[in-house]
Amino acid sequence: MPKTEQLQIRVSAEQKRKIKTQAALAGEDVSKWVLRKLLPPLADEFQRLIDNLAQNQSSCTIALADLHDFLESLTARTLAAAIQGANPQALPAFEANYLAAMVDYACARKQVIPPAWVGQICPLLSPWFASELVGLRLYLLVSSPAPFRQRNLFVDSTLGARI
């Protein structure tokens, strides 16, 4: 992404020395080091996947699978960094809820506190079932993981076990 803007901040001489030292230890210039700390590459990738979900309504299943694979590949530390500053505002209700449930479920599995934005997404008003087969609905009602049930999403497989 081309850099077309400049940001200037005021720091003390000691803070500046510490920042320069940390950047040098990382083998980076100050700008690159600060950007990496404030905007981790994994956070950019997560937001790109969210944006892809918002723009590709016709291939929602593929976009959700990509998000699943991304979340599943992260450690607890990298998960926390990747999801913290996400912006799912452009997502329709279903996609926003599915994303929030996936993130909530990943956080529970990896013992990470979910970011605040997950709780700000209102659950679906009507239940959604992963299958149209009426005979499977009772099973889905019982077996869906809690983060999905809380959002009125009834699925059989989630992170770590997708079809």
- Phi, psi at 18, each rounded to 5°: -65, -40
Query: Residue 75: CA atoms inside 13 Å, Cβ hemisphere, count?
Result: 2
The residue segments making up the domain with residue 83 are 41-122
Q: What is the pLDDT of residue 40?
A: 67
Residue 117 lies inside a defined structural domain of this protein: yes
**Highest mean pLDDT (candidates 29-33, 116-120, 133-137):** 116-120
Say if 45 falls within a structural domain: yes
Here the tokens at position 133 are 């087969």
The answer to whether the beta carbons of residues 140 and 130 sit under 8 Å apart is yes
Model pTM score:
0.76
Shared domain check, 64 and 115 = yes
For residue range 36-63, list pLDDT tens digits in order. Answer: 777 668 999 999 999 999 998 778 889 9
- Whether residues 47 and 114 share a domain: the answer is yes
Residue 86: which of 99, 105, 72, 73 has the closest Cα? 99
Task: Report d(CA 55, CA 53) in Å as an integer.
Answer: 6
Q: What is the pLDDT of residues 72-112, one digit of tens each?
A: 999 999 999 999 999 999 999 999 999 999 999 999 999 99
Which amino acid, 138?
A: L
Q: What is the DSSP code string of 61-126?
A: HHHHHHHHHHHHH--HHHHHHHHTT---TTS-HHHHHHHHHHHHHHHHHHT-PPPHHHHTSPPPSS
Residue 129 in any domain: the answer is no
